Amino acid sequence: MKHIENTLEGKTILITGGAGFIGSSLAFYFQQNHPDAKVVVLDSFRSGEKLSNGNLKSFGHFKNLLGFKGEIISGDINDKDLLLQLETDYKFDYIFHEAAISDTTAQEQDLMIKTNVNAYKDLLELAIAHNANMIYASSAATYGNADSPQKVGNESPQNVYGFSKLSMDNLSREYMQKSDITIVGLRYFNVYGPREYFKNTTASMVLQFGHQLLAGKNPRLFEDSDKILRDFIYIEDIIQANIKAMHPKQSGIYNVGTGKARSFQDIVDILQQELGTSLKCEYIPNPFIGSYQFHTEADISSSREGLGYEPLFEMEDAIKAYVPEIKRLFKEEVK
């Protein structure tokens, strides 16, 4: 991957949600490629606390950071005293904001808005105080049932998570007008890859199908899965987009996908080929008809222009690269 700067020596980087899937991947990217940078990871880490849907409130897991040598802070972005401490004790050059209530099925509207929107405003103020560039996680959930290809400006969120991310984007535009820092929102589509395992049931279907096949179970797909299409994007391309967003041509909200829609059937077929299995697919009725996106595809024309972003991984290449980790997790975590 082409690096934006040859050196980040003397620079300090804050990654919120840094024990999660994307945050921890960013932390290791900097550790491996920019060892002279100071990386500070902030995460609430998981406790036994659950949302009303039964899923964990926090997916942060220490195992995602095994081998990380930077600084780690356990804390909640809703804690104003903590944010004040960050403002006085550090001088950040870049803030990667990945922390969120990221469960799209969460019903707690109050917690979702407080965590995803209100705390983000506090972090924007921190970024301005430090003159730090802000790169934050938005989401394709902002589009809801909007027609494909999904394009920035055509949003129609169908749940409070998508609404909260769109609210973040609106807030960002307001701050872009009144501050000198660059602010980039990255609308992630369906991300998969190493370090997602501890998202439990919200981990990608790439991982879930992989483990079904390794367990010798017939993969279970919704009926007409060859017609249910998503823009699936590998974690390496997500990291690439984040790095390019450190010094964009201009602030803005950008899609991060492949620009290609692939089916759930494709995932199973590629996995079977890579794993050497030939298990029969079982097709079950889709209970989500009417509340389910049947086609997502990112329009990445503005991302190419504003970030210089170009996806590097086709699904076949990405799953092949991911399979050794899927096998390791099955052996060490699942069994």
Q: What's the token pair of residue 183?
A: 């602010």
CA atoms of 51 and 110, how far apart (whole Å) = 12
Whether 71 is covered by a domain: the verdict is yes
pLDDT at 6: 61
Residue-wise pLDDT tens digits, 161-170: 999 999 999 9
CA atoms of 7 and 76, how far apart (whole Å) = 30
Tokens 């220490």 belong to 62
Residue 197 annotated in active site:
no
pLDDT at 220: 95
pLDDT at 12: 98
Whether 6 is covered by a domain: the verdict is no
Residue 260 annotated in active site:
no
Instruction: Write the DSSP string, 150-178.
Output: B-TT-----SHHHHHHHHHHHHHHHHHHH
Whether 79 is covered by a domain: the verdict is yes
Comparing 51-65, 73-87, 152-166, 267-281, which segment has the lowest mean pLDDT? 51-65
Phi-psi region of 276 (alpha: psi -120 to 50; beta: other; left: phi over 0): left
Whether 4 is covered by a domain: the verdict is no
What values do phi and psi take at 53, rounded to 5?
A: -85, 0
Instruction: Write the DSSP string, 47-73.
Output: -S-B-TTSSBS----GGGGTT--SEEE
pLDDT, average across residues 255-271: 97
Position 302 confidence tier, pLDDT thresholds 50, 70, 90:
very high
191: closest CA among 27, 21, 308, 62?
Answer: 21
Tell me if residue 261 falls in helix, strand or coil.
coil
Q: 291 pLDDT exceeds 80?
A: no
Residue-wise pLDDT tens digits, 121-155: 999 999 999 999 999 999 999 999 899 999 999 99
> Catalytic pick from 94, 161, 192, 322?
161
CA atoms of 147 and 9, how far apart (whole Å) = 44
pLDDT at 126: 98
**C-alpha R_g of the chain:** 19
Whether 307 is covered by a domain: the verdict is yes
Whether 145 is covered by a domain: the verdict is yes
CA geometry: angle 329, 331, 334, nearest 5 deg: 65
- Whole-angstrom CA distances from 311 to 24, 31, 291, 322 are 20, 23, 29, 16
Q: Which domain holds residue 215?
A: 12-334
CA atoms of 314 and 297, how far apart (whole Å) = 14
Number of domains making up the chain: 1
Q: 38 pLDDT exceeds 70?
A: yes
CA atoms of 119 and 82, how far apart (whole Å) = 11
Whether 1 is covered by a domain: the verdict is no
pLDDT at 1: 44
Q: 223 pLDDT exceeds 50?
A: yes
> Catalytic pick from 11, 57, 199, 244?
199
Position 213 confidence tier, pLDDT thresholds 50, 70, 90:
very high
pLDDT at 230: 95
Whether 42 is covered by a domain: the verdict is yes
Q: 53 pLDDT exceeds 90?
A: no
The CATH number of the domain holding residue 120 is: 3.40.50.720
pLDDT at 297: 97
